[in-house]
């Protein structure tokens, strides 16, 4: 697979990340979605007992990327946040060991499915499957493993950050140097 040759729009990147996670987490399609809202906003009317959100976080321009024809490309390094939200279940002693130990339903199990689905994802182009929409495969940056309880209801969230490097689709496909 060749990288860095197909310009892409940010909304297309988000859509492809969501589709990849829908396919790999085993959750229904309406339980993995893109958002710009805060985690707590989704817990008042949740999609299900467990769901995943994908949020664009930050994009930094990479100056000095040139193609073989001497044109300057719009290279960008982006960060996406993937949050795994689950209804917080605790026993009578208020311990949350199931959040970490349950191999199938825990918040940590959901995070591991996210890692399996995204780490090294090459994001092939729909029109040219031998070319990637990225300059390099998706890389995990960090995972905040300790579940954070939200103020709204019995919810916990485990967030992770992912690096996505791409060529931004702009009119003409290039930018002035």
- Residues 70-98 have pLDDT tens digits of 666 778 899 999 999 888 765 444 455 55
**What does the DSSP 8-state code read for residue 48?**
S
Handedness of CA 29, 34, 37, 40 (dihedral sign): positive
Provide the terminal-to-terminal Cα distance of the chain, rounded to the nearest Å: 28
Domain spanning 10-170: which CATH class is it, in words?
alpha beta
In the predicted structure, residue 9 carries a pLDDT above the cut 80: yes
Domain boundaries, the chain: 10-170
Which residues, including other chains, have CB under 8 Å from residue 169's CB and lie 6 or more apart?
7, 8, 9, 12, 74
On whether the CB atoms of residues 81 and 55 are closer than 8 A, the answer is yes
Q: Residue 66 in 3-state DSSP?
A: strand
List CB contacts of 47: < 8 A, sequence separation 6 or more.
Answer: 30, 31, 33
φ, ψ (nearest 5 deg) of residue 108: -65, -35
Task: Encode pLDDT of 116-148 as tens digits.
Answer: 999 999 999 888 889 999 989 999 999 987 777
Confidence of residue 110 (pLDDT cuts 50, 70, 90): confident
Question: Helix or strand or coil: residue 103?
Answer: coil
Q: Are strands 50-66 and 32-34 parallel, antiparallel or unpaired?
A: parallel
In tens, the pLDDT along 50-60 reads: 899 999 999 99
List 78's β-bridge partners, or say none.
Answer: 59, 164
Task: Please tell me the pTM assigned to this model.
Answer: 0.83
């Amino acid at each position: 697979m060749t990288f860095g040759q197909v310009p892409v729009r940010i909304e297309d990147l988000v859509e492809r990340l969501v589709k990849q996670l829908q396919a790999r987490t085993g959750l229904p399609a309406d339980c993995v979605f893109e958002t710009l809202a805060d985690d707590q906003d989704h817990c008042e009317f949740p999609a299900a007992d467990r769901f995943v959100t994908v949020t664009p976080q930050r994009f930094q321009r990479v100056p000095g990327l040139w193609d073989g024809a001497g044109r300057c490309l719009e290279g960008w390094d982006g960060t996406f946040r993937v949050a795994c939200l689950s209804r917080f279940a605790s026993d009578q002693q208020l311990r949350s060991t199931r959040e970490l130990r349950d191999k199938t339903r825990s918040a940590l199990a959901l995070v591991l499915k996210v890692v399996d689905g995204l780490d090294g994802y090459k994001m092939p182009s729909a029109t040219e499957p031998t070319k990637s929409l990225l300059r390099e495969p998706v890389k995990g940056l960090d995972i905040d493993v300790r579940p954070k309880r939200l103020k709204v209801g019995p919810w916990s969230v485990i967030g992770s950050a992912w690096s996505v490097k791409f060529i931004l689709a702009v009119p003409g496909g290039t930018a002035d140097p």
